[in-house]
Amino acid sequence: MKRVVLWLVVGCGRIGFDSNAPFDGSTSDGQDAPSDAPSFTCEPSYTFVIGASRYRRAGTDEWINSETDCASDGLGSHLVVIDSAAELAGLAPLANGMTTWIGTTDRVLEGTWRQVTGPVAMVLPWAVGSGMTGGEDCVAWEPVANELADLSCLAAKARICECDGIAVDPSSF
């Protein structure tokens, strides 16, 4: 089972992806996606693919500037929102070992971690001592240790933007 899981994580990505084509809900094997699959368009710079989402590494800045930059693409783009351990593992090559902002914060209500798209964040792989204390409001991912830490939102960190067609909810951050 481990081999299959690892293969799926590594196997995710660029297979069948034309970076100049909009995502239209079809799959890489040419079959139509289910009728409930999202249909959205991403900027051509979103060339890294996991499932139905597309990603791009987008420089270094403070958390709010990073979120603003990602969302400026319109089209349902934002700082990466981590939905699973498999997604986190799949993004490791894109992070390239750099501590990276993700779209999770407790800026609105201390201790309530929300995604930039609105929902409360799922259980996260926190580093020891992170996520439970007050004062630091933005979440960064350390891909080498595969841990998340709450840091000052004013720190300059790398960012990964995700295009998945889901609009940001400014009331969540």
Domains, the chain = 2-172 (3.10.100.10)
Q: Which residue would you say has higher pLDDT here, 36 or 3?
A: 36
Task: Indicate the pLDDT class of residue 81, thresholds 50, 70 and 90.
Answer: very high
Q: How many helices (H) and strands (E) does the chain have?
A: 3, 8
Radius of gyration of the chain (CA): 16
Alpha-carbon distance of 27 to 39, in angstroms, equals: 11
- Looking at residue 100, the DSSP 8-state letter turns out to be E
Q: What is the pLDDT of residues 95-125, one digit of tens each?
A: 999 999 999 999 999 989 999 999 999 867 8
pLDDT reported for residue 3: 33
User: Does residue 83 have a pLDDT over 80?
Assistant: yes
Per-residue pLDDT tens over the stretch 45-80: 999 999 999 999 999 999 999 999 999 987 799 999
Q: Which amino acid is at 40?
A: F
